[in-house]
Amino acid sequence: MKHTVVTKENFETEALKYERLAVVDFWATWCGPCRMIAAEFDSLPDTDGVKLCKVNVDEQPELADAFRVNAIPTLAFIKGGKMIYRHEGYLKAEQLAKLFEQYR
């Protein structure tokens, strides 16, 4: 699944104003579970109506603070400019695909 790197400069355009489901993955390079979930995302095909946005919490601490990210990976599902679901921790590809279907 392709992803978009998101920063505080483009977060509003790429995630908040995206007309469908934006899944924001808050992660860090040193985080083992973050690398594991990245591999799961990579194994998924692009999903119609779902955009994957990745936020490096070390490079974008303001965004992490705004979403009260205390553990990584944290996934924020955003639709219509609002967070509609949040998950902390690792998920397998099958679990991610089910969540995409449920929330898109």
| Structure-token pair, residue 23 | 């899944």
| Structure-token pair, residue 26 | 């808050």
Whether 53 is a known active-site residue: answer: no
Q: Which of these is catalytic: 31, 38, 44, 83? A: 31
- Residue 40 to residue 17: CA distance in whole angstroms: 26
Helix (H/G/I), strand (E/B), else coil: 74: strand
Instruction: State the Cα torsion 32-34-40-43 to the nearest 10°.
Output: -100
Q: Which of these is catalytic: 23, 34, 55, 75? A: 34
User: Active-site residue numbers?
Assistant: 31, 34
